[in-house]
Amino acid sequence: MSYLFTSESVSEGHPDKVADQISDALVDNFLAFDKNSKIACETLVTTGQVILAGEVKSNTYLDVQKIARDVINKIGYTKSEYMFDGNSCGVFSSIHEQSKDINQGVDRDSKEQQGAGDQGMMFGYATKETENFMPLALDLSHKILVELAELRRENNEITYLRPDSKSQVTIEYTDDNVPFRIKDIVVSTQHDDFGPNDEAMLAKIKSDIIAILIPRVLTKLPDSIKTLFNDTIVYHVNPTGKFVIGGPHGDTGLTGRKIIVDTYGGKGAHGGGAFSGKDPSKVDRSAAYATRHIAKNLVAAGVANEVLIQVSYAIGVVEPMGIYVNTYGTSNVKESDGEIAKIVSSIFDMRPFAIEKRLKLRQPMYLETAAYGHMGRENEIVTKTFKNVDGTEKVLDVELFTWEKLDYVEKVKDAFGL
């Protein structure tokens, strides 16, 4: 019998994502000036207020207020009527030094013996149902909001958009787990005040989403996905009605509160640890990237059509507790899932420092991850400029989303005789 699966995404202007981006901007700036920094930064945003807290061990000093304001302005919160804007909001910092009790389990004389920054389990997932090996419902949800943000910045075809928005896509699958149609699309977008006629306002927004946004999204999709769009899709556009009050004024935002949006939209599994605001010694972040890297290379190599990888750690311990593999019955090799896990362990070194080195995680590469998902993104090199309070400026070429590279496909094929 066919079944339905739904995933959601939220925009860069969603209050939780505002908090994530501020936290990751702090991580990037610390790493830019001291690549060995240890960072665990949390951000809370609400009406006219930003609160920064957390623990840091670093040889650099940052103007955290300016960094937070720059992020907020870049997102698009630049007007006083939003009741939250980068130039006028208050920024309070309560960042202090990292606990020595935690640090003693991480730092070692030999970097290769660096212990995990915390205990826990992390998951990576990949599937063949999209070109970027991501679950389709989440991938479409992200793409809808990326395009909506482009329309907002262009301020041409649609001129009333504000930064806060959400999307959701429901896919109907066949018995064989193949997506064959899109059932529902939900888009909720913050907007300027249209005046007293709410019905006309809602009709205009719905018409623009269906007639302008969706066709623009379609132009960027492969033909195999375009065929899933049809006239029977039910569109729920701003289903609660008026959405003028939004962003941190409408809802308090916190770092790490959108972990399913950040990963696989509910497909596979999640260990529960957030990513943003953490340096790569925290395996919540680095091992989640490493398991995605493994899963994607396994699927691309043809080991299976769908793969879930789990790795687990104890704080301060170098070697992981274990690696688990689930191919959901889609394996294309003779080995069992347990045997696949043993082979994976021989190919990929999952010690924390080895992960940092393999994926180049000591770069200031994290602000870009903090909206529209950490997985399924494009691996590319960009030039980034960082300025410190003492006038020091660093211009760095930074490789983004290294865990999305298919650089282990041949090693995987050799190991499995493919």
Alpha-carbon distance of 281 to 286, in angstroms, equals: 7
Does the annotation flag 399 for ligand binding? no
Alpha-carbon distance of 291 to 348, in angstroms, equals: 10
Is 2 in contact with 174 (CB distance < 8 Å)? yes
Alpha-carbon distance of 288 to 301, in angstroms, equals: 20
> Which one of 3.30.300.10, 3.40.50.620, 1.10.3720.10, 3.40.50.12280 gives the CATH number of domain 3-8+136-245?
3.30.300.10
Cβ-based neighbour number of residue 373 at 10 Å: 21
Does the annotation flag 242 for ligand binding? yes
Does the annotation flag 251 for ligand binding? yes
216-231 pLDDT per residue, tens: 999 999 999 999 999 9
Sort strands 120-127 and 306-313 into parallel, antiparallel or unpaired: antiparallel
Does the annotation flag 220 for ligand binding? no
Alpha-carbon distance of 406 to 270, in angstroms, equals: 22
pLDDT for 184 equals 98
Does the annotation flag 63 for ligand binding? no
Q: Which residues have C-beta within 8 Å of that of residue 132, sequence separation ≥ 6?
A: 139, 376, 377, 404
Does the annotation flag 334 for ligand binding? no
Does the annotation flag 176 for ligand binding? no
Radius of gyration of the chain (CA): 22
Tokens for 57?
Answer: 């061990």
Alpha-carbon distance of 157 to 377, in angstroms, equals: 27
Do the first three CATH levels of 3-8+136-245 and 120-127+282-416 match, i.e. the same topology? yes
Does the annotation flag 167 for ligand binding? no
Q: What does the domain layout of the chain look like in residue ranges?
A: 3-8+136-245, 120-127+282-416
Does the annotation flag 16 for ligand binding? yes
Alpha-carbon distance of 294 to 298, in angstroms, equals: 6
Alpha-carbon distance of 202 to 262, in angstroms, equals: 29
pLDDT for 316 equals 85
CATH architecture for residues 120-127+282-416: 2-Layer Sandwich (3.30)
Does the annotation flag 270 for ligand binding? no
Does the annotation flag 258 for ligand binding? yes
Does the annotation flag 42 for ligand binding? yes
* Strand locations in 221-327 (E): 234-237, 253-254, 306-313, 322-326
Query: Could you tell me which residues are beta bridge partners of residue 10?
Result: 166
Does the annotation flag 14 for ligand binding? yes
Does the annotation flag 116 for ligand binding? no
Q: Which residues have C-beta within 8 Å of that of residue 27, sequence separation ≥ 6?
A: 39, 41, 276, 277, 278, 279, 364, 366, 367
Does the annotation flag 131 for ligand binding? no
- Biggest CA-to-CA distance, the chain: 68
Q: What pLDDT tens digit does each residue of the chain (418 aa) get? A: 799 999 999 999 999 999 999 999 999 999 999 999 999 999 999 999 999 999 999 999 999 999 999 999 999 999 999 999 999 999 999 998 865 555 555 555 556 667 777 789 999 999 999 999 999 999 999 999 999 999 999 999 999 999 999 999 999 999 999 999 999 999 999 999 998 888 999 999 999 999 999 999 999 999 999 999 999 999 999 999 999 999 999 999 999 999 999 999 999 999 999 999 999 999 999 999 999 999 999 999 999 999 999 999 998 888 899 999 999 999 999 999 999 999 999 999 999 999 999 999 999 999 999 999 999 999 999 999 999 988 889 999 999 999 999 999 999 999 999 9
Tokens for 375?
Answer: 């997985």
Does the annotation flag 390 for ligand binding? no
DSSP-assigned states of every residue in 400-416: E-GGG--TTHHHHHHHH
